[in-house]
Amino acid sequence: MRDRPCDRLSVREIATGAEASTTSIYTLFGSRENLIAAVRTRACVELGEVLGAVPATRDPVEDLLAIAAEYRRWALANRHRYASIFGGGVSYVPHGAPRDGDPAAALVDVVNRAHGPEYRIEDANRTAVAIWAALHGFITFETDGTLHGSYIDTVVPHAIRSLLAG
């Protein structure tokens, strides 16, 4: 699943890679679709953990740039798992404070710190989703060759600062 998109793998290929039987895969997950949904969910949780592990400093803008860099690094190193997150099966509807394992939690936290306690959680969620969408777009452009990584290195900080400023 690290080398190919999970939605293009058969249960037999997955079982072989896991040194398991197809019967055990079906016993654990019930169906190929449930297995793919589990992979998507796990990738989403893993990304949230990676972003949550970025150390906080006294400068929320620099923290946001560090989170963006880690998001991009993880996405490029785990292209198929990253793509699986956005392949359906995992939806994100921001409302209230983020849940544990929420990939946007680190973004919402930093946006809140940047704007202060008077910033409403709904506004922090909207800003975090806008930043997330921009990052996703840049990563998509990088992986499909539309934009070179060196250009993205320069434009991401500008985009994040602009979105954060509103």
Check which CATH number belongs to the domain holding 67 and give it: 1.10.357.10
In terms of pTM, does the model score above 0.75?
yes
91 within some domain? yes
Cα 85 from Cα 144, distance rounded (Å):
17
Cα 5 from Cα 104, distance rounded (Å):
23
135 within some domain? yes
8 within some domain? no
Report phi then psi at 89, rounded to 5: 90, -25
Q: Read off the pLDDT of residues 114-159 as tens digits, 9 standing for 90 and up.
A: 998 888 888 888 899 899 999 999 999 999 999 999 999 999 999 9
Residue 36 CA neighbour count, 13 Å, CB half: 20
CA triple 109-111-115, angle to 5 deg: 120
Domain residues for the domain of 120 are: 40-165
Determine the residue type at 115: H
22 within some domain? no
Residue 115 CA neighbour count, 13 Å, CB half: 20
1 within some domain? no
Residues of the chain with pLDDT under 70: 1-8, 87-101
Tally of domains in the chain: 1
What pLDDT was estimated at residue 91?
60
What pLDDT was estimated at residue 21?
87
10 within some domain? no
Neighbours of 69 (CB within 10 A): 15
Residue 165 CA neighbour count, 13 Å, CB half: 6
Cα 38 from Cα 33, distance rounded (Å):
9
Tokens of residue 92, six digits: 């994100």
153 within some domain? yes
31 within some domain? no
